[in-house]
């Protein structure tokens, strides 16, 4: 079970980003993560020694263990009472994050960030050095392979400041799987919200692997988080000096936030409110059926063209209309104008679509609206839950999941009914993500059984009553 969970999480990492995906079967994930968690992998100098002193009531000082769980060396030190928090935490499962208070100097285009120590002694004792990839999909080497490493280190020598900043800095990359809406939100925008929101726009963003297209696409969101122009870290030759620098973005789970771990307790409800504000979306809640003005509930169907597309919209739409819905069909693609798409989705009460990046538009729905996720054939229901089901619940949306039967899949035209693909789709999972993708994601279209699906649309209406 725990194993299965891991497997599912790793699929979530790559959803939609098919062309860049290499095998990352879940069974490997744990070990990959375990390796990347430990210092020797990220730090070329094997002996990063962190001197931690542990207090004991009787003796004053006591050493518990020579190595703590992060792989740091713990050294007893009788004459030195100072305790340093390491510059970076590389133990978080989804991202590496450095949070540095003090004299921090960023030489942008050499990817070097130095924490200037107050004395030579401190510099010698700490000598911390990390190579951080500031993108929140740790453990996924395909995504992370494209992310430039930033060198974060302690240093006694201080490069001359070209410019002094009075606000904190946040350094992050927009490479990895960006360009896919799911990853735009799950890997960057939500983690950026978690990391930056508490500064009330008084924060400077420095972006590595700078991509002007991406920055423009999400400019409205960025503007709501920082009132300063983004600095392109790849080009800027200046030395920027700060008193507080965060490298990497805090990230808790797929397309969501854990309020218990986020600064000021931010949740996905806060995030969706923030997004509605960024895009000037005016509907906070869906219609309540039975209200006096009696508008028809609006259903938006996210359509896909190349794979996992609906083969019988001509049956689905009239059936939905017969139940009283006003139906809107919206096709999501990487070049969609986010503002326009957000307005369409926010104007609706129910969003339905087949598992895929387009469902990420759920962030624009009014709170308590209904998401219907249609899960293609292939044992994909856990992946569906991790990518959109649990996030929908965290956003306080009503969530309905519809798993199709073999008869509703285009695969039935290609394989005999007694084929392994129908009898035991999980056997394909054992061959890794490429097999799953090519079998179930890229080559499957969906012909909904409108009689069976009708009940789901009725249930959605019922949910809008509540
Ligand atoms: C680093 O992250 C781990 C995992 O979330 C956490 O348990 C630990 O307390 C963090 N360490 C520090 C120094 O914040
Ligand atoms: C910074 O970038 C410029 C332009 O690419 C390059 O000429 C220069 O050598 C770089 N400086 C450093 C220190 O990498
Ligand atoms: C930045 O601040 C330092 C320390 O206060 C000062 O010595 C330096 O001249 C300042 N540099 C600039 C460019 O303002
Ligand atoms: C998206 O559409 C809005 C109008 O609906 C327009 O103001 C904006 O410039 C467009 N954005 C892009 C990136 O094309």
| Residue 43 near residue 37, CB atoms below 8 Å | no
- Residue 33 Cβ inside 6 Å of ligand 1? The answer reads no
Query: Domain boundary at 65, 83, 101, which?
Result: 83
Range of the domain at 241: 88-265
Q: Average pLDDT, stretch 191-195? A: 98
Note the pTM of the prediction, 2 decimals. Answer: 0.83
For residue 274, is it within any domain? no
User: Domain check: are 348 and 436 in the same one?
Assistant: yes
Q: What does the alpha-carbon distance between residue 50 and residue 69 come to, in Å, rounded to a whole number?
A: 12
Both 211 and 150 in a single domain?
Answer: yes
Last residue of a domain, one of 265, 298, 333: 265
> Which atom in ligand 1 lies closest to the alpha carbon of residue 89?
1
CA geometry: angle 121, 168, 263, nearest 5 deg: 100
Quick one: 235 and 304 in the same domain?
Answer: no
How does pLDDT run across 210-256, given as a tens digit for each residue?
999 999 999 999 999 999 999 999 999 999 999 999 999 999 999 99
Picking from 68, 83, 98, the residue at the C-terminal end of a domain is: 83
Do 55 and 92 lie in one domain? The reply is no
What CATH code is carried by the domain that includes residue 347? 3.40.50
Query: Does 227 lie in the same domain as 152?
Result: yes
Are 27 and 135 members of one domain? no
189 and 337 housed in the same domain:
no
Give yes or no for residue 164 CB within 6 A of ligand 3: yes
Q: Do residues 162 and 110 share a domain?
A: yes
Which among 210, 381, 308, 194 is positioned nearest to 186, based on CA atoms?
Answer: 194
Ligand nearest to the CA of 112: 2
The reply to whether 302 falls in a domain is: yes
Burial class, 8, CB count within 10 angstroms (exposed 0-12 / middle 13-18 / buried 19+): buried
Is 340's C-beta closer than 6 angstroms to any atom of ligand 4? yes
Q: Which two tokens stand for residue 342?
A: 């957000």
Q: Is residue 431 part of a domain?
A: yes
User: Ligand 3: distance of its center to the CA of 97 in Å?
Assistant: 27
- 344 assigned to some structural domain: yes
Kindly indicate the confidence band of residue 293, based on its pLDDT and cuts at 50, 70 and 90. low
Give dist(CA 63, CA 67) in Å, integer.
Answer: 10
User: By mean pLDDT, which of 33-37, 137-141, 369-373, 456-460 is the weakest?
Assistant: 33-37
pLDDT tens column, 152-177: 999 999 999 999 999 999 999 999 99
User: How many domains, the chain?
Assistant: 3
For residues 341 and 399, membership in a common domain is answered with yes
pLDDT of residue 335: 76
* Confidence band, pLDDT 50/70/90 cuts, at residue 87: very high
**Which residues line the pocket of ligand 2, CB cutoff 6 A?**
109-110, 237
Task: Specify the residue with its C-alpha closest to ligand 3, atom 8.
Answer: 161
Nearest CA-CA partner of 218 in 94, 362, 342: 342
Ligand 3 atom having least distance to the Cα of 163: 13
365 and 288 part of one domain: yes
Task: Please indicate, yes or no, whether residues 313 and 229 belong to a single structural domain of this protein.
Answer: no
Q: Is residue 9 part of a domain?
A: no
Contact 113, 129 (CB under 8 A): no
Cβ–ligand 3 contact at 163 (below 6 Å): yes
Q: Indicate whether 271 belongs to any domain.
A: no
Q: How far is the CA of 107 from the centre of ligand 3 (A)?
A: 15
Establish if 142 belongs to a structural domain. Answer: yes
Same domain, yes or no: 133 and 251: yes
Judge whether 3 lies within some domain: no
pLDDT in the model for residue 166 = 98
If we measure between CA atoms, which residue out of 140, 36, 162, 139 comes closest to residue 88?
Answer: 36
Q: Whose CA is nearest to atom 1 of ligand 4?
A: 337
Nearest-CA residue for ligand 2 atom 13 is 110
116 lines ligand 3 (CB under 6 A): no
- Kindly report, residue by residue over 366-420, the tens digit of the pLDDT: 999 999 999 999 999 999 999 999 999 999 999 999 999 999 999 999 999 999 9
Sign of CA dihedral 110, 115, 121, 124: negative
């Amino acid at each position: 079970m725990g194993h299965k969970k891991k497997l599912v999480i790793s699929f979530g990492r790559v959803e939609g980003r098919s062309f860049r995906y290499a095998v990352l079967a879940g069974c490997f994930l744990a070990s990959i993560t375990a390796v990347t968690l430990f210092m020797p992998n990220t730090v070329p100098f094997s002996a990063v020694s962190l001197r931690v002193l542990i207090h004991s009531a009787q003796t004053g000082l006591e050493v518990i263990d020579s190595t703590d769980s992060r792989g740091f060396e713990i050294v007893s030190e009788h004459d030195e009472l100072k305790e340093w928090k390491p510059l970076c935490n590389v133990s978080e499962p989804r991202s590496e994050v450095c949070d540095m208070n003090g004299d921090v100097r960023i030489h942008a285009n050499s990817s070097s960030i130095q924490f200037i120590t107050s004395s030579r002694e401190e510099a010698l004792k700490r000598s911390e050095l990390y190579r951080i990839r500031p993108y929140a999909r740790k453990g996924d080497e395909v995504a992370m392979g494209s992310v430039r490493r930033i060198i974060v280190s302690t240093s006694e020598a201080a490069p001359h400041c070209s410019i002094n900043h009075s606000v904190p800095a946040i350094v992050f990359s927009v490479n990895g799987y960006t360009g896919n809406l799911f990853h735009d939100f799950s890997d960057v925008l939500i983690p950026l919200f978690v990391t930056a929101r508490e500064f009330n726009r008084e924060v400077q963003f420095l972006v590595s692997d700078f991509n002007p297209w991406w920055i423009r696409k999400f400019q409205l969101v960025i503007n709501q988080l920082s009132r300063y122009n983004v600095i392109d870290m790849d080009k800027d030759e200046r030395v920027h000096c700060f008193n507080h620098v965060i490298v990497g973005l805090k990230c808790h789970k797929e397309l969501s936030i854990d309020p218990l771990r986020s600064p000021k307790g931010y949740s996905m409800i806060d995030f969706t409110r923030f997004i509605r504000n960024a895009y000037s979306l005016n509907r906070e809640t869906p219609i309540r059926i039975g209200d006096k003005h009696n508008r028809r509930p609006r259903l938006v169907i996210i359509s896909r063209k190349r794979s996992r597309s609906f083969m019988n919209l001509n049956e689905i739409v009239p059936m939905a209309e017969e139940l009283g819905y006003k139906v809107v069909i919206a096709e999501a693609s990487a070049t969609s104008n986010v503002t326009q798409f957000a307005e369409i989705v926010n104007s609706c009460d129910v969003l339905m679509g087949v598992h895929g990046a387009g469902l990420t538009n759920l962030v624009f729905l009014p709170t308590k609206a209904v998401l219907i996720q249609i899960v293609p054939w292939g044992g994909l229901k856990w992946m569906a839950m991790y990518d959109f089901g649990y996030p929908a619940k965290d956003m306080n949306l009503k969530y309905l999941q519809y798993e199709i039967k073999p008869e509703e899949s285009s695969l039935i035209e290609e394989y005999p009914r007694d084929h392994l693909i129908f009898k035991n789709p999980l056997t394909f999972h054992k061959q890794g993500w490429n097999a799953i993708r090519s079998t179930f994601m890229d080559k499957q279209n969906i012909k909904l059984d409108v009689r069976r699906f009708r009940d789901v649309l009725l249930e959605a209406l019922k949910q809008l009553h509540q």
